[in-house]
Amino acid sequence: MIENLVIVESPAKASTIEKFLGKDYLVKSSFGHIRDLEKKNLGIDLEKDYSPQYIVPDEKKKIVAELKKLAKDARTVWLASDEDREGEAIAWHLFEVLGLKKDNTKRIVFNEITKDAIQKAIKNPRSIDYNLVNAQQARRVLDRLVGFELSPILWKKVKPSLSAGRVQSVAVRLIVEREREIHAFKSTSSFKVNAHFLTDEKKTTVLAELEDKIKIREHTLAFLKKCQNAQFKVSDIVTKPSKKSPAPPFTTSTLQQEASRKLGFSVAQTMMLAQKLYEAGNITYMRTDSVNLSESAIGMAKTVILKEFGEKYSFPRQYKTKTKGAQEAHEAIRPTYLDKTDIAGATSEKKLYDLIWKRAVASQMSDAALEKTTVTIDISSTPEKFIASGEVMKFDGFLKVYIESTDDEHEENSEKLLPPMKIGQMLNLDYIKATERFTHHLPRYTEASLVKKLEELGIGRPSTYAPTISTIQQRGYVVKEDREGTLREYQEIILKNQQITEQKLKETTGAEKAKLFPSDIGMIVNDFLVQHFKDILDYNFTASVEKEFDEIAIGSVKWTKMIDKFYQPFHKKVTITTETSERSVGERILGKDPESGKPVMVRIGRFGPMAQIGESSDEDKPRFAGLLKGQSIDTISLEEVLDLFKLPRVIGLFENKEISASVGRFGPYLKHDSKFYSLKPGQDSPLTVNLERAIEIIQTKRIEQENKILKTFTEDPDLKILKGHWGAYLAYNKNNYKIPKTISAETITFQECQEIIKNGPSKAKPKRGKKSK
DNA sequence: CAGTGAGCGAGCTTCCGCTTGACTT
């Protein structure tokens, strides 16, 4: 007989709580939800008021059986799942599936894991909140209806196996629209004019910027001419105090952002490391939308700050969550023990822990006090003014520990220390430099900045940010890529020693690192969905249904009513779209082929993005060509398409044989002496690669091939021992054979090789990414 | 492996949110 059985959601949480509760309590974990809608079918009975058809999935059967057995023997069962919509539903599913009884089942909640909080919860049990449960059922059913009715339309109208959903489709939309904004963006340039002055002592320089940028070169030159014999006088000095406050401790989303900005971690990587830290007991729960810290954590932080930095640096504070739709079932992410500055583990874990520690500690520290000084400098020959600004830190406060990063890629930290100056003081001009600067488009999303945007829109939850980002990449809607920048020319005009000189310089622009780009399929699917299901793709759709879920949660709306109101018009739209909409292949007609006069178009074909000259109905067949990597249906020009039809292209002769370049099933390649040599997309293009470079590629590949060979045999020159990615293997007649571990690749004999060949080639790789049933 | 781009149609794909391992290569 067990006195008390407590069920929580996470096993790590279970073991912590067990310590607080003592031997009369057995604490177990449900490992999240224990049942869900049927996997294969819709799982919702549309004839019976949307009645959900729940099943316990196979992987949960074992844990359910165990909990059932324990619950039967327990005097009291405490359902201690999280205090939010999903947590309440978990408690209810447990109640139903385990066959619990009302009189000995108690529902308790706590949103911080401290002894006090848990004991207080035990003293204040309640019963299951069915309104909250119904809000969750509505959420679950709505997501299923949307996902399972939209996806099949895409299978019919675009491509099989695609998917759509309330969260993922909006995430893709953000990326598609940002990409189009970027393409529509026209950069303009203007001249930023910086003056470098010397103070009387000629020891320190003062950097000042002209108030307004100058649009064109001629005006810039005219301005510099005016400055040639001018005098420069300090006309005003304004000093203003300012302060900076620390950021709140981490939530899942802000942790993902900062780990990306400061440590370069992907969203998935951050979560995996945080999970490890959590399981080792080093940090609190890592999937949270709350910035709340427990009283004891605030106390611990104070002790640490007093000891490490002194009283001036301590400033305990409690933060309020501003995030849309936050459920706040947990604390913010923080070290479990704030006095622990270092942990055992891998370097990456240590780095992430350090970040979490700094952010949490800094959040409990004093504001930084700054003093901003703005100096206005008059020019005797013209009314324009130079402005020098500087910043002095009067007290570092939390900045001693932690500075939050931003996503701004073009940040210029011009705030510097200024030497002492007086109003009326004359300054000596060292030189003036006018540099041509360009406006830049909005940045492409990174994984982390996309998470930030989704959170702002109230779309998705801490537990789904990382999976959503991986889903939209897996479906091929979005790719994470680096892109090389292009060289751009800019002008610089300098006035020094009364002389004006001009020069042209070059800089790289538009380079991207680990950014999210939409694919052709991503754009086509997005356009299709936006066209036919505008309301669901609306950025405010989630926010508005969340409001309705809230109504259900307080009991003022019946959940099936809400679903019905949504589903009736939605389903009608699904039916109409299925019946009436065209197949969507993203076709764009670019113009006419100057040679034949036939129309030139691009679209998605059976094997991906392609270009076509002529209609399929024409007497002579249309001509086809695949698009190159990096080209997009959305943006490719007629010229670029016509270039594609120049392939295969003969480049020249090498060793008396022709080298030609083309694009095939596996990308661009060179062909020489009936051997193939892949071209790296982005590095060499089959349209432009020259003979010299082609020969270089062929010779490099030959050397690589040479190095791969570990051993050959005089008995049969076709039989080779090669060095592969996973070690040595045997190659013969275009088949590869695994060498048994009992035989060393170095001493293998010809006889042994023949033995291996007799046993047949190594099996083809099994299909990935699918769990067999 | 490297020329494709059509059509027929079996059987399959798919959502969002809670949670962790157990599996290859």
Q: How are beta strands A2-8 and A74-79 bridged, if at all?
A: parallel
Distance in angstroms: CA A331, C1' B16: 23
CB A481, CB A632: distance < 8 Å: no
Measure CA to C1' and name the residue nearest B19: A32
Measure CA to C1' and name the residue nearest B23: A771
Instruction: Find which nucleotide's C1' atom is closest to A663's CA.
Output: B2
pLDDT at A765: 39
Distance in angstroms: CA A41, C1' B12: 13
Task: Spell out the long-range contacts of A760-766 with Cβ–Cβ below 8 A and sequence spacing 24 or more.
Answer: A761/A735, A761/A736, A761/A737, A762/A729, A762/A736, A762/A737, A762/A738
Report the greatest alpha carbon distance in chain A.
98
Instruction: Find which nucleotide's C1' atom is closest to A149's CA.
Output: B14
- Give the separation between CA A442 and CA A181, rounded to whole angstroms: 8
Hey, is A25 helix, strand or coil?
Answer: strand
- Give the separation between CA A631 and CA A644, rounded to whole angstroms: 11
**What's A416's DSSP letter?**
B
**Residue located via tokens 């939409």:** A518
pLDDT at A766: 40
Hey, is A474 helix, strand or coil?
Answer: helix
pLDDT at A417: 82
pLDDT band at A274 (very low <50, low <70, confident <90, very high): very high
pLDDT band at A442 (very low <50, low <70, confident <90, very high): very high
Q: Which has more confidence, A216 or A1? A: A216
CB A122, CB A6: distance < 8 Å: no
Among residues A506, A459, A467, the alpha carbon closest in space to that of A487 is found at: A506
Distance in angstroms: CA A61, C1' B16: 21
Digit-coded pLDDT (tens) for A668-697: 888 888 888 888 876 788 888 889 888 988
**Residue located via tokens 């054979």:** A737
CB A495, CB A227: distance < 8 Å: yes
Q: Please state whether the peptide bond connecting residue A648 to the residue before it is cis, i.e. omega within 30 degrees of 0.
A: yes
Q: What percent of chain A has pLDDT over 90?
A: 73
Q: What percent of chain A has pLDDT over 70?
A: 96
b/e A283-304 (16+ beta carbons within 10 angstroms → b)? bbbbbbbbbbbbeebbebbbeb
CB A609, CB A627: distance < 8 Å: yes
pLDDT band at A474 (very low <50, low <70, confident <90, very high): very high
The per-residue DSSP string of A132-163 comes to HHHHHHHHHHHHHHHHHHHHHHHHHHT-TT--
Distance in angstroms: CA A468, C1' B13: 18
pLDDT band at A268 (very low <50, low <70, confident <90, very high): very high
- Give the separation between CA A432 and CA A84, rounded to whole angstroms: 61
Digit-coded pLDDT (tens) for A224-239: 999 999 999 999 999 9
Residue A239 forms beta bridges with which residues?
Answer: A373
Residue A190 forms beta bridges with which residues?
Answer: A437
Measure CA to C1' and name the residue nearest B25: A765
Q: Mark the nucleotides of strand B covered by protein, meaning any atom under 7 Å from a CB.
A: 1-6, 11-21, 25
From residue A747, give the alpha-carbon distance in Å to each of A508, A538, A701, A707, A715. Answer: 53, 66, 27, 18, 16
Non-local (6+) Cβ contacts of A519 within 8 A are: A476, A477, A478, A479, A632
CB A66, CB A14: distance < 8 Å: no
**What's A102's DSSP letter?**
G
Digit-coded pLDDT (tens) for A168-226: 999 999 999 999 999 999 999 999 999 999 987 667 889 999 999 999 999 999 999 99
From residue A423, give the alpha-carbon distance in Å to each of A136, A374, A381. Answer: 67, 12, 19
pLDDT band at A764 (very low <50, low <70, confident <90, very high): very low
Mean pLDDT, to the nearest integer, of A743-748? 78
Mean pLDDT, to the nearest integer, of A508-524? 96
pLDDT at A760: 67
Sign of CA dihedral A347, A351, A352, A354: positive
At residue A414, does pLDDT exceed 60? no
Distance in angstroms: CA A725, C1' B22: 25
Mean pLDDT, to the nearest integer, of A42-56? 97
pLDDT band at A721 (very low <50, low <70, confident <90, very high): confident
Amino acid identity of A498? Q
Instruction: Find which nucleotide's C1' atom is closest to A725's CA.
Output: B25
Measure CA to C1' and name the residue nearest B15: A147
Of A84-98, A543-557, A684-698, where does mean pLDDT reach its minimum?
A: A684-698
Measure CA to C1' and name the residue nearest B20: A31
Instruction: Find which nucleotide's C1' atom is closest to A34's CA.
Output: B18
Instruction: Find which nucleotide's C1' atom is closest to A275's CA.
Output: B20
Mean pLDDT, to the nearest integer, of A14-34? 95
Mean pLDDT, to the nearest integer, of A375-392? 96
The C-alpha torsion from A62 through A63 and A68 to A69, rounded to 10°, is 70
pLDDT band at A281 (very low <50, low <70, confident <90, very high): very high
Instruction: Find which nucleotide's C1' atom is closest to A627's CA.
Output: B5
Task: Decide if A445 is catalytic.
Answer: no
Distance in angstroms: CA A268, C1' B10: 37
Distance in angstroms: CA A686, C1' B19: 49
Among residues A315, A326, A404, the alpha carbon closest in space to that of A359 is found at: A404
Of A35-39, A372-376, A477-481, A593-597, where does mean pLDDT reach its minimum?
A: A593-597
- Mean confidence (pLDDT) of chain A: 92
Distance in angstroms: CA A337, C1' B15: 39
Measure CA to C1' and name the residue nearest B2: A664
pLDDT band at A745 (very low <50, low <70, confident <90, very high): confident
pTM as predicted: 0.90
At residue A425, does pLDDT exceed 80? yes
Digit-coded pLDDT (tens) for A610-658: 999 988 777 778 888 888 888 899 999 999 999 999 888 888 889 988 8
Distance of CA A106 to the CA centre of its chain: 41
- Give the separation between CA A737 and CA A693, rounded to whole angstroms: 35
Of A38-52, A119-133, A707-721, where does mean pLDDT reach its minimum?
A: A707-721
From residue A603, give the alpha-carbon distance in Å to each of A39, A163, A253, A611, A632. Answer: 34, 20, 37, 6, 10
Amino acid identity of A253? S
pLDDT band at A714 (very low <50, low <70, confident <90, very high): confident
* Burial of residue A374 (number of CB atoms within 10 Å: 0-12, 13-18, 19+): middle
A399 phi-psi bin (left φ>0, alpha ψ -120 to 50, beta other): alpha
pLDDT at A678: 85
Q: How many CA atoms lie within 13 A of A613 on its CB side?
A: 18
Instruction: Find which nucleotide's C1' atom is closest to A612's CA.
Output: B5
- Give the separation between CA A137 and CA A553, rounded to whole angstroms: 11
Digit-coded pLDDT (tens) for A341-356: 999 999 999 999 999 9
Q: Which of A25, A50, A278, A285 is catalytic?
A: A285
pLDDT at A329: 85
Separation of first and last alpha carbons in chain A:
38
At residue A771, does pLDDT exceed 70? no
From residue A642, give the alpha-carbon distance in Å to each of A9, A94, A615, A626, A726. Answer: 59, 63, 16, 12, 43
Measure CA to C1' and name the residue nearest B16: A143
- Give the separation between CA A69 and CA A631, rounded to whole angstroms: 60
Residues in chain A: 773
- Give the separation between CA A452 and CA A457, rounded to whole angstroms: 9
From residue A299, give the alpha-carbon distance in Å to each of A248, A308, A336. Answer: 16, 14, 12
